[in-house]
């Protein structure tokens, strides 16, 4: 972990982090654009970058994209991202009541705190959290969906019938396309364009943005502008009283973010509903209540972390990939690639049986010549067209503390152990 901090502290990585976060905020604030789209556009630019700088840039874009959605959600009632839907419940009424800057300040504060708390949980408890996430099966996911439907009933204001009708309409939009469970087309009516179903973001824009535009067009306005702060956004010492709510929302977001396919929008909804149930003034939620903004934004940002390990496990299970075939770019193309680099958590993945472990037990130097070592390295799966690059890639993967391209006794002993049926390491 200390090595990761030291790598991030280099000025170029901090610069890329700032650039990525800034770009993400701008893109996230534009309805119809998402952090995923921004990452797809900038990914080709990272191919020739240092691996740490490239990952830092992409992570900054994703985090900024999730956070940026709160700007238009609060000011215009148009969520920039699906994760910002819940923020509109209280953020927009606050803006309408003349407290737009306060809503923005609370949203930004909650996003920052949620991200930090989520990082703390994941940095200190990644193996335990990953094991928990990987135990989820169909019944657990069914329970989560059922809980989401119950929350719709809880959060429905005014007519319960209208709330249930809206839920039914949403599920109807989700039905067309490829069934994720059995891989069969459903309700496509013979159209190939319907195989991908309805995108969530276009539906959101239609439900929120267009309706709000029509409503604003039909309502006479005394002024065409909204008063915004002339200085910094208001953050007060009394906001420390929101610490329990921030912690609660961050914990909910972290745990839900670990589950594949759930997403930040569900995390925000669960956090918002929980906060409403625990509040002594539940009737204020939806009218411009500050705790509503805090609960939503702390949860959706906290959900960002923890996605790598569940994703890898799903891919491994779906395609029947053995752990010996989980490799990095540098293992496949040692002469051209250096990523994912020596700081990649191979050991953590090995403990979850998602990668080969680094052999550490019963090591024995076979005393091979350099030529024999290269033949064994080729047998293991490395391209040895450029011998030194192949050795460096092998060391980067299995002995990251010393990467010098020199074949020594430790390298020979590690390779011999890897060629045995069951390499033994710290699993």
Q: At 337, which CATH number?
A: 1.10.101
Distances (CA, A) of 349 to 28, 131, 137, 283, 406: 31, 11, 20, 46, 27
**Tens digit of each residue's pLDDT (9 = 90 or more) over 45-94:** 777 777 778 878 888 887 787 777 788 788 877 776 666 777 888 888 88
Are 339 and 388 within one domain? yes
* Contact criterion met (CB below 8 Å) for 229 and 98: no
Are 300 and 360 within one domain? no
Q: Which residue has the higher pLDDT, 310 or 334?
A: 334
Rounded Cα distance, 59 and 57, in Å: 6
Are 172 and 216 within one domain? yes
Written as one string, the DSSP assignment of 268-296 is HHHHHHHHHHH-S-GGGTTSS-HHHHHHH
Are 126 and 247 within one domain? yes
322 falls within a domain: no
Are 147 and 82 within one domain? yes
Number of domains observed in the structure of the chain: 2
Report the pLDDT value the prediction gives residue 374, as an integer from 0 to 100: 92
Rounded Cα distance, 394 and 20, in Å: 31
426 falls within a domain: no
Distances (CA, A) of 261 to 69, 84, 269, 307: 20, 17, 15, 9
Are 33 and 141 within one domain? yes
Are 333 and 307 within one domain? no
Report the pLDDT value the prediction gives residue 373, as an integer from 0 to 100: 92
User: What is the mean predicted confidence (pLDDT) over 210-227?
Assistant: 60
Give this prediction's pTM.
0.54
Q: Could you give the count of Cα atoms lying within 13 Å of 175 in the half-sphere of its Cβ? A: 10
pLDDT higher than 70, residue 15: yes
Mean of pLDDT over the chain: 75
Report the pLDDT value the prediction gives residue 394, as an integer from 0 to 100: 92
pLDDT higher than 60, residue 1: no
**Tens digit of each residue's pLDDT (9 = 90 or more) over 367-405:** 899 999 999 998 888 988 899 999 999 999 899 888 888
303 falls within a domain: yes
Percent of the chain past pLDDT 70, that is, above it, reads: 69
Report the pLDDT value the prediction gives residue 212, as an integer from 0 to 100: 60
Report the pLDDT value the prediction gives residue 266, as an integer from 0 to 100: 73
357 falls within a domain: yes
Q: Which two tokens stand for residue 198?
A: 């309805």
298 falls within a domain: yes
Determine how many CB atoms are found less than 10 A away from the CB of residue 400: 16
Report the pLDDT value the prediction gives residue 224, as an integer from 0 to 100: 47
User: What is the mean predicted confidence (pLDDT) over 12-32?
Assistant: 82
**Tens digit of each residue's pLDDT (9 = 90 or more) over 113-165:** 877 777 777 666 666 666 666 666 667 767 766 776 666 666 555 566 766 77
250-260 in b/e burial notation, b at 16+ Cβ within 10 A?
bbbbbbbbbbb
424 falls within a domain: no
User: What is the mean predicted confidence (pLDDT) over 193-222?
Assistant: 63
427 falls within a domain: no
pLDDT-based confidence at residue 331 (cuts at 50, 70, 90) = confident
Are 339 and 307 within one domain? no
323 falls within a domain: no
Are 238 and 347 within one domain? no
Are 358 and 306 within one domain? no
272-287 in b/e burial notation, b at 16+ Cβ within 10 A?
bbbbbeebeeeeebbe
Domain hosting 36: range is: 2-178+196-220+227-312
pLDDT higher than 80, residue 279: yes
Are 242 and 292 within one domain? yes
Q: Which residue has the higher pLDDT, 281 or 210?
A: 281
Are 245 and 98 within one domain? yes
């Amino acid at each position: 972990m200390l090595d990761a901090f030291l790598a991030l502290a280099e000025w170029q990585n901090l610069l890329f982090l700032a650039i990525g976060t800034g770009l993400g905020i701008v893109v996230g604030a534009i309805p119809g654009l998402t952090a995923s789209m921004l990452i797809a556009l900038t990914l080709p630019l990272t191919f020739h970058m240092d691996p740490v700088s490239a990952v830092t840039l992409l992570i900054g874009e994703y985090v900024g994209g999730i956070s940026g959605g709160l700007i238009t959600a609060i000011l215009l009632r148009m969520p920039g991202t699906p994760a910002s839907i819940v923020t509109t419940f209280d953020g927009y009424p606050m803006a309408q009541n003349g407290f737009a800057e306060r809503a923005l300040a609370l949203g930004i504060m909650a996003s920052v705190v949620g991200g930090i708390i989520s990082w703390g949980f994941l940095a200190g408890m990644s193996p335990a959290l990953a094991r928990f996430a990987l135990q989820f099966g169909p019944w657990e996911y069914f329970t989560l969906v059922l809980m989401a439907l119950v929350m719709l009933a809880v959060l429905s204001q005014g007519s319960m019938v209208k709330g249930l009708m809206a839920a039914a309409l949403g599920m109807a939009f989700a039905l067309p396309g490829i069934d994720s469970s059995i891989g069969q087309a459903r309700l496509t009516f013979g159209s190939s364009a319907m195989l991908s179903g309805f995108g969530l973001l276009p539906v959101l824009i239609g439900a929120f943005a267009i309706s709000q535009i029509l409503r604003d067009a039909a309502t006479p306005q005394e002024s065409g502008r909204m008063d915004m702060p002339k200085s910094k956004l208001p953050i007060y010492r009394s906001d420390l009283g929101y610490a329990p709510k921030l912690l609660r929302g961050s914990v909910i977001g972290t745990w839900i973010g670990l589950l594949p396919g759930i997403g930040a929008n569900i995390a925000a909804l669960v956090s918002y509903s929980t906060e409403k149930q625990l509040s002594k003034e539940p009737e204020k939620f939806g009218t411009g209540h500050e705790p509503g903004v805090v609960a939503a934004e702390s949860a959706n940002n906290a959900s960002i972390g923890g996605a790598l390990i569940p994703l890898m496990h799903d891919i491994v299970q779906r395609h029947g990939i053995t752990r010996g075939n989980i490799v990095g770019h540098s293992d496949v193309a040692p002469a051209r690639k250096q990523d994912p680099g020596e700081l990649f958590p191979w050991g953590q993945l090995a403990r979850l049986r998602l990668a080969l472990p680094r052999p550490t037990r019963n090591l024995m130097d076979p005393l091979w010549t350099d030529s024999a070592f290269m033949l064994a390295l080729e047998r293991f799966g490395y391209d040895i067209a450029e011998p030194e690059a192949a050795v460096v890639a092998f060391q980067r993967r299995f002995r990251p503390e010393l990467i010098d391209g020199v074949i020594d006794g430790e390298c020979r002993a590690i390779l011999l152990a890897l060629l045995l049926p069951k390499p033994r390491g710290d699993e």
